[in-house]
Amino acid sequence: MPLNATIAKVTQDIIERSRDSRQAYMDRMKGAIDQGPVRAHLTCGNQAHAFAAMEQDKGTLAGGKAPNIGIITAYNDMLSAHKPFETYPNLIREVARAQGATAQVAGGVPAMCDGVTQGQPGMELSLFSRDVIAMAAGVGLSHNCFDTTIYLGVCDKIVPGLIMAAATFGHLPAVFVPAGPMTSGLPNDEKAKVRQQFATGEVGRDKLMEAEMASYHGPGTCTFYGTANTNQMLMEFMGLHLPGASFVNPGTPLRDALTAASTERALAITAAGNEFRPASEVLDEKAFVNGIVGLMATGGSTNLVLHLPAMARAAGIQLDIDDFAALSDVVPLMAKVYPNGLADVNHFHAAGGLGFMIGELLDDGLLHPDTKTIAGDGLGSYTQEPKLVDGSVEWTEGTKETLNDKILRPTESAFQPTGGLKSLSGNLGRGVIKVSAVSEERRIIEAPARVFHDQASVKTAFQAGEITGDTIFVVRFQGPRSNGMPELHGLTPTLAVLQDRGLKVALVTDGRMSGASGKVPAAIHVSPEASDGGPLAKVRDGDIVRLDAVAGTLEVLAEDFDSRTPVVADLSANQHGIGRELFQTFRDTVGPATTGAASVL
């Protein structure tokens, strides 16, 4: 089927908008590629320092002819998703040696866990950690000793930060290697029920802890479809994983075989071979459009609406939130994975997973089929699935039919005809709302505002019994300039309880919500943010606010609204403690949410 007209138009709009910046970027990448193998420009002293600890690989490295892989790793054992990466460098080195090549860990990057910092002061560093990750990876690769790169990272800010680095060093090939999701534990809906019971005092902390530990119980990503697993989907749709690699569980023979195959592929696509695939050519406008299509078709995390523009800017590409909305209008929602449904990502993968979805979307003309990927030319190979045959990976034809239509459906009978995201605009600014998990009767909310300056105050008002009628909660001064734009996922149980009591409730904020949030309407990333003089700073208690996710509007219905003086908040408490002092420069220089809330681009 020919390419969908809207997909084609949005892509062309992005190309035209990005023409100058993309050309300048590609000129820089060409200049770096034209310099040839980078180690040739290092002095003997430079090289001696780089190879001193490499023992059995010294001779190969000093010869300068065999490719050398630079590994950037986000390993730590604070994150369940990154614990498996502990053993990956040794495996990668062994596979490289067998190919007559070498591999070195170029550097490690920080990788914080939003699950640990959720609702805590440390969450105020979370978004900015993405830019730190990009810079840390840049430090590792600045040694200029590498012919190709492997990136080991999975979770929320880690993959976006690594992509920003991969694009910046886009003269090198970049292969992303996942670790996979943990095996299924306590079902996510049961965990959510216990959280709501705890919020209302029906159960104690012992029952809450028991439920949480039964849900998050082993190595691998959390099994709900939040930001971490959305990242993995994105890497496959954009052609940076090997086909079918995203959702294979850790500690399995197939997982190790895919890591070995990824290493072999990273070596095959260097400039020394016949399949040179620098990251700058993989990360083009079509790849980003394909990634957004995947985001909509799966009902993925709203965090990617923030991260994708920053990732694209690193490759000279300019995305706008209207691009997301336009694509959402023509891409059907094909998956129901928690919080959009009851299944987890393991169930989704078993039902046919990403390979089935990519095949359906290609057949319907909803993806660019002619992108360049690390696996080859065209996205068609990503409809295949990996199998372990005699200890090695072989790719076979994936399923052409869903194996569970309660979780995964073809485009013609999708769960809804449009994707899971709407852009919003009005006299409160611009923002986005994830609607894939919001029931249709809750997509238009008009109610009096209750204004708060932090999420703790919302919980206090709830516990005091102050919320007895329909309410739109305006939680402002939560943007990147205010306090680093923490996720407000801690509000989800409270708002869900109010909604379950029959109240019409919604959230409007210049902050973020977790990728695990969904059934309560939430207008997020509202820009300009309150601390930058944005309209949110003019809202007063009792103002009638209308959030219309059908028409895409977000407005205060007050005649004097535009003439009001914005409120100025005391943000001094957000400037010190738990490392906040170190991030003042980021808060001072960060861009708006509409362009990715980045400080380094």
**β-strand 544-548 against 444-452: which pairing, if any?**
antiparallel
- What would the two tokens of residue 357 be? 């979805």
DSSP code for 372: E
User: Could you give the C-alpha distances from 53 to 49, 50, 140, 148, in angstroms and in order?
Assistant: 8, 8, 16, 20
Distance separating alpha carbons of residues 542 and 451, to the nearest angstrom:
9
What's the CA dihedral at 393, 398, 404, 408 to 10 degrees?
Answer: 100
Q: Nearest to residue 554, comparing CAs of 491, 519, 508?
A: 508
End-to-end CA distance of the chain: 38
> What residues contact residue 237 under an 8 Å CB cut-off, 6+ apart?
290, 291, 293, 294, 354, 358, 367, 379, 382
Distance separating alpha carbons of residues 410 and 443, to the nearest angstrom:
25
Size (the chain), residues: 601
For residue 281, the tally of other CB atoms under 10 A from its CB is: 18
Q: Binding site for [4Fe-4S] cluster: residue ranges?
A: 155, 222
Phi, psi of 242, deg, nearest 5? -70, 150
Distance separating alpha carbons of residues 345 and 335, to the nearest angstrom:
10
Phi/psi region, residue 477 (left: phi>0; alpha: psi -120 to 50; beta: rest), is left
Q: Binding site: residue ranges?
A: 155, 222
Name the helix (H) or strand (E) containing 70.
strand 68-73
Quick one: angle between helices 158-168 and 303-314, nearest 10? 10
CB distance 425 to 554 below 8 Å? yes
**Helices (H) and strands (E) in the chain — how many of each?**
22, 16
Residue type, 348: F
For residue 148, the tally of other CB atoms under 10 A from its CB is: 29
CB distance 297 to 333 below 8 Å? yes
CB distance 253 to 302 below 8 Å? no
Distance separating alpha carbons of residues 470 and 505, to the nearest angstrom:
6
Name the helix (H) or strand (E) containing 311.
helix 303-314
CB distance 281 to 372 below 8 Å? yes
CB distance 224 to 298 below 8 Å? no
Q: Quickly tell me which residue has 């709203």 as its tokens.
A: 302
Phi, psi of 123, deg, nearest 5? -60, -20
CB distance 102 to 96 below 8 Å? yes
